[in-house]
């Protein structure tokens, strides 16, 4: 078996920072689809601190369904998973056309120490999501999330 090495290639501006904790700590609980969805929302989060919309993302449901072949029925489950672990909070803004506009408040992940302190709470919140969404099965992370189903 050969060892693979990753080296710095061509670098440029215009990127979204991804915290190591997303894959190291959160992904084992929330799974592939919720991780991808979170990173997508993070990509479109407003990073301009002087604006009222700082930290919010509204480029969500329609675009993510089309881009990543997710179903609309899966998105509320993914929203619940991401809210349970504290990565997002959802606000609803009336727009007068019968459906509210969904605004995602996209949080940075907790650092390793804080995550470990909150891990029991996170597990309990995910268990509550499991009882609400009985079809959650394969959406949770293989390493930790599926253990919560037992």
Most confident of 98-102, 125-129, 146-150: 125-129
Q: Is the pLDDT of residue 28 over 90?
A: yes
Which of 24-28, 46-50, 104-108, 123-127 has the weakest average pLDDT?
46-50
Tell me which H or E stretch contains 122: helix 112-132
142: nearest Cα among 20, 18, 35, 39? 35
Domains of the chain listed by start with CATH number:
20-142 (1.10.10)
What average pLDDT does this structure show over 61-83?
88
Task: Note the pLDDT of residue 70.
Answer: 87
Q: Is the pLDDT of residue 106 over 90?
A: no
What average pLDDT does this structure show over 45-52?
63
What average pLDDT does this structure show over 52-80?
78
- Percentage of residues in the chain having pLDDT higher than 90: 45
Exposure string for 109-122, b = 16+ CB within 10 A, e = fewer:
bbeeeebeeeeeeb
Task: Please give the Cα distance from 132 to 114 (Å, whole number).
Answer: 26
């Amino acid at each position: 078996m050969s060892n693979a090495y990753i080296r710095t290639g061509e670098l440029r501006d215009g990127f979204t920072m991804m915290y190591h904790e997303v894959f190291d700590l959160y992904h084992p609980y929330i799974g592939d689809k919720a991780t991808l969805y979170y990173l997508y929302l993070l990509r479109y989060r407003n990073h301009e601190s002087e604006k009222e919309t700082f930290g919010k993302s509204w480029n969500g449901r329609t675009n993510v369904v089309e881009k990543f072949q997710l179903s609309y029925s899966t998105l509320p489950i993914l929203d619940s998973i991401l809210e349970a672990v504290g990565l997002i909070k959802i606000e609803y803004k009336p727009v007068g056309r019968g459906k509210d506009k969904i605004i995602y408040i996209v949080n940075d992940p907790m650092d390793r120490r804080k995550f470990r302190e909150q891990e029991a709470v996170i597990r309990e919140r995910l268990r509550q999501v499991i009882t609400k969404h009985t079809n959650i099965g394969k959406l949770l992370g293989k390493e930790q999330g599926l253990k919560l189903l037992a």
